[in-house]
A and B are shown apart, each in its own frame.
Chain A
């Protein structure tokens, strides 16, 4: 899994590439937590390059959503691929996470 971070308008976009699994989820959670703690509470996860996630990845996502929302922000996902989307759906995450077709739409959703 690879991560890169970019400020785009009102949001910080975290681009994730590869697998979010038991081996990588902690790295992702640590990176996202650092953003939230730095005050970057309007976060977009660019999932266009994520081809796999397991329950370990779901834990990182939910923890970040909770921490961001508790501070008045949010962690929103963009460009979720079909396999990962199915895991989100089966886990009941599509009802609590905000998903967007692409990064631009997710960033725009944070515009005042």
Chain B
């Protein structure tokens, strides 16, 4: 977890440099935080350290973030559906990370890394530019 601040700073700086719309930057930062904490907790459990490569590219149409680790493979499609409806007494604490990633991003692709680990690609489309000329 001690590297999380630098990962979040990297993504914030990249969003600023790309001059992303505020709402798009919010979504990207949130999805990246959820994905990074997921890798830190599940790909490298028990406080074990391991590499996490974070990539960012953007153009006028979209933002693409990639996360590559060499840890234990995970299967996002097997993440249990979140409980969004029960009352406060029954509502479980936690379990919203993947839900938020899927809600905030337009595309989420997960594949097994080569030779090991996970490769996650997050795509967020930017609003169509309005041109005045």
Contact = CB atoms under 8 A, between A and B. Distances in A.
A and B: interacting chains: yes
A23 interface: yes
A23 B4 contact: yes
Contact of B88 (A52, A87, A90, A96): A96
Nearest to B31: A54
If over half of A's interface residues share one DSSP class (helix, strand or loop), that class is named, otherwise mixed; here it is helix
Interface in A2-58: 21-23, 52, 54-56, 58
A55 to B, nearest CB: 4
Nearest to A70: B89
Given A52-B29, A63-B93, A91-B100, A96 B23 contact: no
B97 A55 contact: yes
Interface in A62-104: 62-63, 65-66, 69, 83, 87, 90-92, 95-96
A68 to B, nearest CB: 10
B33 A90 contact: no
Nearest to A97: B88
Contacts of B29: 52
Contacts of B129: none
Contact of A83 (B23, B34, B84, B103): B23
A69 B88 contact: yes
Given A90-B99, A96-B88, A21 B8 contact: yes
B8 to A, nearest CB: 7
Interface string B3-33: 0110010000000000000110010011001
Contacts, number: 58
B78 to A, nearest CB: 18
B87 A96 contact: yes
B33 A58 contact: no
A63 B94 CA distance: 10
B82 A92 contact: yes
Given A55-B34, A55-B97, A91-B82, A22 B4 contact: yes
B91 interface: yes
B96 A55 contact: yes
A55 B83 CA distance: 13
16 contacts: A22-B4, A22-B33, A52-B29, A52-B30, A54-B34, A54-B100, A55-B34, A55-B97, A56-B33, A56-B37, A59-B93, A66-B93, A83-B23, A90-B104, A92-B83, A92-B85
